């Protein structure tokens, strides 16, 4: 990111656990907090500043200092709060507050008004992942009153659902401030089960330039759609090769790197040789399997097999590539202290791995060992009538309090 704006709000050089918080603006229950968070339409295309302002007021009322880091336009902000000793170390609780759109989805209730029914709370972001953020914010009064010997960091980020540039800006800010936590728990929905690893993701936009002409004389033109189709056929074959040959890693579903094409566009009308075509594709790579090496395989195949015939007709024709998303994988060792800690607090006997990406990969790449553990079911994420079970929020509330007890010991 070319521009970063950082501001800091500090009520005291260090937090004072004995400081009496001002009257809270709302009830401190997690459900009440989630109601307020869901009411903000923080679809990734929108600013999240009204929600961040609400969180700032909440933290101010409890004497909690925080830092802000913004996107280049100044329309979105991350918030990094510290409860306990204002220093590096301790554990971060990380959650994003942007959501996917509701456009075109068959909601049966207002997505921005929390609705309770049958032990479930319905609303956009309830599971992914305002539920976890609500648990963290509702815990603030208890955390402030705890005699924390190591800090609890709260990370609230923007644009996780799109570019993950929010987490990137936050990583840059903690490097600048020196207030880097030792460990991080990313509260993506996992039914409160510890997730040790996830795949990395490399997304690429491939643009093909051909030469237009009348479809009755195909030899005088370069068909961009057909050239793209040749590349896509190779990508499909690569997907089959990876599934058959690996490499493989147990615990992932599927247990190998995957690749696919998600969107394609091109052409004007049937009797014109299409001059332009573009498609967007991705690799989801198991840890240790470099997606950029797979990307180079695609580029080499195109350069050797597809482009020569194109350029023989028109040297200006060919392929161009743009990386539009790069999320590093995450892989916490099974014997790591963070693994043991989360297993002990949750009571989980097993750990898991997932194929979707999280901000944990970025934190791990920045030297902060990370784990995924949060309330709700990932199957509810991005769905119409998105919901989270109240019992999941209760379990997360208990998890945060037990974590605070460990940090106070």
Q: Could you give the residue numbers annotated as active site?
A: 98, 160
Q: For residue 390, what are its two tokens?
A: 């109240």
Cβ-contact 16, 85 below 8 angstroms: no
Distance, in Å, from the CA atom of 36 to the CA atom of 58, rounded to the nearest integer, reads 12
Q: How many CA atoms lie within 13 A of 41 on its CB side?
A: 8
Distance, in Å, from the CA atom of 179 to the CA atom of 223, rounded to the nearest integer, reads 54
Question: How many C-beta atoms lie closer than 10 Å to residue 202's C-beta?
Answer: 21
Distance, in Å, from the CA atom of 204 to the CA atom of 323, rounded to the nearest integer, reads 4
Distance, in Å, from the CA atom of 160 to the CA atom of 97, rounded to the nearest integer, reads 8
Distance, in Å, from the CA atom of 184 to the CA atom of 142, rounded to the nearest integer, reads 20
Cβ-contact 158, 98 below 8 angstroms: yes
Query: What string of H, E and C letters represents the secondary structure of 36-85?
Result: HHHCCCCECCCCCHHHHHHHHHHHHCCCCCEEEEECCCCCCEEEEEEECC
Angle CA 304–308–311, to nearest 5: 145
């Amino acid at each position: 990111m070319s521009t970063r704006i950082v501001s800091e709000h500090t009520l005291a050089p260090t937090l004072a656990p004995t400081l009496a918080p001002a009257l809270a603006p709302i009830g401190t229950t997690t459900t009440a907090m989630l109601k307020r968070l869901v009411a903000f339409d923080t679809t990734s295309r929108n600013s999240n500043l009204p929600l961040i302002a609400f969180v700032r007021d909440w933290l101010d009322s409890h004497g909690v200092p925080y830092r802000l880091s913004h996107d280049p336009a100044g329309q979105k902000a991350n918030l990094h709060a510290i409860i306990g000793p204002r220093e590096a170390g301790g554990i971060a609780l990380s959650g994003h507050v942007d959501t996917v759109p509701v456009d075109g989805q068959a909601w049966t209730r207002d997505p921005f008004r929390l609705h309770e029914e049958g032990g479930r709370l319905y609303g956009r972001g309830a599971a992914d992942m305002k539920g976890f953020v609500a648990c963290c914010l509702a815990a603030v009064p208890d955390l402030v009153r705890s005699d924390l010997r190591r800090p609890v960091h709260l990370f609230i980020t923007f644009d996780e659902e799109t570019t993950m540039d929010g987490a990137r800006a936050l990583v840059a800010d903690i490097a600048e401030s020196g207030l880097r936590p030792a460990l991080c728990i990313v509260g993506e929905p996992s039914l409160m089960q510890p997730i040790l690893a996830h795949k990395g993701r490399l997304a690429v936009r491939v643009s093909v330039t051909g030469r237009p002409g009348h479809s009755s004389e195909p030899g005088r033109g370069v068909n961009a759609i057909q050239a793209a189709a040749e590349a896509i056929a190779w990508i499909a074959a690569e997907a089959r090769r990876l599934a058959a040959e690996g490499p493989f890693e147990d615990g992932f579903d599927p247990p190998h790197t995957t690749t696919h094409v998600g969107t394609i566009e091109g052409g004007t009308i049937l009797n014109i040789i299409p001059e332009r075509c573009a498609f967007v594709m991705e690799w989801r790579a198991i840890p240790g399997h470099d997606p950029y090496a797979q990307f180079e395989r695609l580029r080499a195949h195109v350069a050797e097999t597809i482009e020569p015939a194109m350029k023989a007709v028109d040297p200006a024709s060919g392929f161009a590539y743009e990386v539009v998303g790069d999320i590093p994988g995450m892989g916490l060792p099974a014997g790591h202290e963070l693994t043991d800690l989360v297993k002990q607090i949750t009571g989980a006997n097993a750990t898991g791995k997932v194929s979707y990406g999280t901000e944990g990969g970025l934190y791990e790449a920045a030297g902060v060992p990370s784990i995924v553990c949060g309330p709700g079911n990932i199957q509810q994420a991005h769905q119409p009538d998105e919901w989270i079970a109240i019992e999941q929020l209760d379990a997360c509330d208990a998890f945060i309090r037990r974590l605070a007890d460990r940090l106070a010991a």
